[in-house]
Structure 1
């Protein structure tokens, strides 16, 4: 009897032990890359890969919806995908999205590449924005390096290396059907479940994928990486720097409200977000603009220093926005969007700051309000005896008043001085 029960409990324990193993083996981790690839993106990918490896996930699916981003971070991510033991599936998703420029290079570097319907890849020609529009980067050293990298990754995964090169040299764009026809991707999938059914049984990195019906787990980065990803967005980091500059100007011009402390914190966060990769010319222009605005604040009126300072800061903000290659590997349209997203708030904040500084300067240089009352006349609104209080009207304002002589209603009085909120008056003969 004991032996029978012992055998039963042993089988039960073995079953309970095997259940979590089976569950973990049928999970797929999904990392969502949305918007720009930032300096924090490669750290997020590294953490997601470690998470997938420790949890024995079947694969890591990277969903791509990005205009591109930082070249160094993209190359680091491509290297991580190559060296990782975890099968990595690149998937342009959801419908109607795109993986342009650096996003395209990232897709063709994954172990399995797929696209959702109505998505687009390509536009990988490096460009720089100019006052007249945009120009392609024609430096053969840069272009050849990008082409060689893209083609080598394509060949490694058995993909069309000619198309990989044309993404860069000819700005080739492909929809899912053409990408599949040209051998750039392996699958077209309507959603994540459809993708996992299609790749089920495929051998990747020495293991057979068992993904059909697998549980989909969405990766959530730790708080540190989540915060870094936010502030490293090119628009957010640029605006943090400029907001910090304006707060610093306001704090230096009118100390005591803590604006300068906020400015220092915002500038520090902006610099961390950019990875301290800031255009020196933009910093110089912004500093000149700060100096001119401070001079304007201390000058007698609103004039040329304030306008010149605002122009310098706006010009500096254009250079501050990371739109040039290789700081930002995105199509020209997105680079122009970044410039507009940074310059427009900069202009609004600058005009508002000039208005505030002008108002503060007017108050500081104006005579005290009460000094203008001395010697003026007012009209008594009711009678009051010597030492008692009554009310007088000065222009459209009602003031509490007292006098050393009797005052009758309607008498015209002269304002001599002020005692707290009370006017000292005397009757005008």
Structure 2
């Protein structure tokens, strides 16, 4: 039967019917589901010195990428280095990230020096653009003395001189710690551990092509699209899980610093923190010296709190901070104590030394420029000079209140007292006073106050020249404005 059916189907009409039935069955079959879109790639920029603000931004950006289901985080780097604590915070986030992180030194001319080298070693993938470099990862000498200490030849305890200063021990500890740290990162990622140690101990650097040739970096990529094409299909271990990257057609999300990160970056600049601290201190001084102005006190308190917040995030020398506080205290005391400038000059000197010592590191991007310290010292000196000038002028002004304000004022005799020729009542500044004169007085006579004993005024009669100079007797309401104590003889 089957053979007969096939023979019948070979006829032209039946063959057409058979083909139509097969085509209908094929179109009726369910279509294959479309391929799921690739997970996004998140790009986080790291530009400038590594500090608290940049570390906070990168850690929060990595958390955002993880929560958003990203398959890869690209850390675009162009940094001269930075603070050790901030660098370690970033590296800890990379090592704990379930999303692979590709450290990418980009664009051409960028660098991953010092702390950037450690971060590149810690990344799951290390990529560089042509024309970039990395290295010079020696720990910078902490404290006063500059970075030269970190580049001295290392002395072992056996060969160190007996009287070696304590700084040598600290330098050796920092060098060994940094060497072990980068060696551990290199072993974790399968990179050149020997060159990593040389970058720490000898401060050597490599170009991008040399880094790839010596297994310091994994690959070269001229731009981000090229990097994503090269990484497509690559297997990467992240947080103990192997992942396959599909980045060729993956959407790219660029993360930019938000207002919080930009604000932290501004106030954690050591120069800005120092300026905020000075504005805060002077604002509080103005408020305490003239209570009720409100604005200087509010602005000063805000600036001082911002400065303290910034300083607690920075490597601050407490000796420098103490010298700044001592200097400001001396300058304030100069305004209230008759030290003839000794406290003011000493306060300015203490402030300058404290500002130089304030930031306890020589990492690039975290120093306070000397011109700013000099400008603040000159501003403080100008402020003290202005106050001294005002105080000196105030001392030379005539007294306008209290008992001494009566001296030199003119008046007119009203009447004598009980027939006495030297005692009586006079009108001075619109008020009735009991007066006494060394010479006989007469009603209507013009007099001048030469002394005061409680409620009794000592007066003397004006001669003809003085009487003419004083002019007509003024009403009491106008007397204080027109008749004022002067240097004319009493």
Give the alignment's TM-score, normalised by structure 2.
0.65
Aligned counterpart in structure 2 of residue 281 of structure 1, from 319, 322, 325 = 319
For 1:298 and 1:347, how far apart are their aligned partners in 2? 25
Taking the TM superposition and a 5 Å limit, the aligned residue runs for 1:22-421 are: 22=37, 25-128=38-141, 130=144, 134-136=148-150, 138=168, 139-205=171-237, 206-221=242-257, 223-252=259-288, 256=293, 258-275=295-312, 278-299=316-337, 303-323=341-361, 330=363, 334=364, 338-341=366-369, 343-367=370-394, 371=398
Secondary structure at the aligned position of 1:78 is classed as: helix
For 2:109 and 2:353, how far apart are their aligned partners in 1? 35
| 345-354 or 232-241: bigger deviation | 232-241
Question: What is the CA-CA distance between 1:193 and the residue it aligns to?
Answer: 2.1
For 1:267 and 1:100, how far apart are their aligned partners in 2? 34
| Structure 2 residue aligned with 1:379 | none
Per-residue CA deviations over 1:402-429 (Å, capped at 9, x if unaligned) read xxxxxxxxxx99899995997579xxxx
Residue segments in structure 2 that go unaligned for 5+ positions in a row: 1-26, 152-167, 400-406, 409-468, 485-490
Higher alpha-carbon Rg: 2
Give the alignment's TM-score, normalised by structure 1.
0.73
Alpha-carbon RMSD across the aligned residues, in angstroms, is 3.7
Higher relative contact order (CA 8 A, sep 6+): 1
Per-residue CA deviations over 1:199-222 (Å, capped at 9, x if unaligned) read 222211222222224333211355
8 Å contact 1:301–1:361 — kept in the other structure?
Answer: no
For 1:38 and 1:291, how far apart are their aligned partners in 2? 31
Secondary structure at the aligned position of 1:52 is classed as: helix
Residue segments in structure 1 that go unaligned for 5+ positions in a row: 1-6, 325-329, 376-411
8 Å contact 1:235–1:321 — kept in the other structure?
Answer: no
Change in Cα spacing, 1:302 to 1:179, as seen in structure 2 (3 Å) is farther
For 2:374 and 2:307, how far apart are their aligned partners in 1? 18
> 4+ runs of 1 displaced by more than 6 Å?
412-418
Change in Cα spacing, 1:284 to 1:275, as seen in structure 2 (3 Å) is closer
Change in Cα spacing, 1:366 to 1:147, as seen in structure 2 (3 Å) is same
For 1:32 and 1:207, how far apart are their aligned partners in 2? 23
Secondary structure at the aligned position of 1:195 is classed as: helix
Change in Cα spacing, 1:68 to 1:354, as seen in structure 2 (3 Å) is same
